[in-house]
Structure 1
Amino acid sequence: MAFTEQDLDEAIDFKNASNTPHRVYGKGQMVYWKSCKTTLMKIGVDDLEFLRDIKMHDGKGKLDFGLALVFGTLGGNKVGMVKEGPYI
């Protein structure tokens, strides 16, 4: 159960994306984010357990079962965007 962030493809369309703050639970899907503060969490029995902060403000990655990504804003008036892609 590992998560590897990758560079965001510029071709990703965020037209119908969710705005931050937002949370995504892993189901084996790709997750794409833009202009976000991102934290990787492990899903526990009663709550989420912090694993690490993601350094990339724009990125993508496959989110496996048992993991969650928590997305926040970078500050100011800029709202981040999050989109879930196909299951892999």
Structure 2
Amino acid sequence: MAPSIQTDIINRHRRILRHRLKKINVENNTSYRLGQKNIDLLFYLNYIKFVKELATKAKQIAEIEGSSEIMPQHWKESGAELLDTFERENELK
């Protein structure tokens, strides 16, 4: 069974966060790693914010298209847009 659209989006978000953590370690000569309480909490809070923004954006796209429910293509569009913004600007708006 192929992974769902949401799983693909979440996995890409996780890869971006891991890459960002490596970059922070190199730039600041630190050794933060996944598994540390603060890092895990920050990643979790970032994930919650991302999922909230993802759902909001998918709902907006569905409403613009006149759909009564959020379809897979709405998740894909919103995910691609948010992840591109997130990667480029290092924050969600």
TM-score normalised by structure 2 residue count = 0.23
Higher RCO structure, 1 or 2 (CA under 8 Å, sep 6+): 1
Q: Which has the higher helix share?
A: 2
Q: Which has the higher strand share?
A: 1
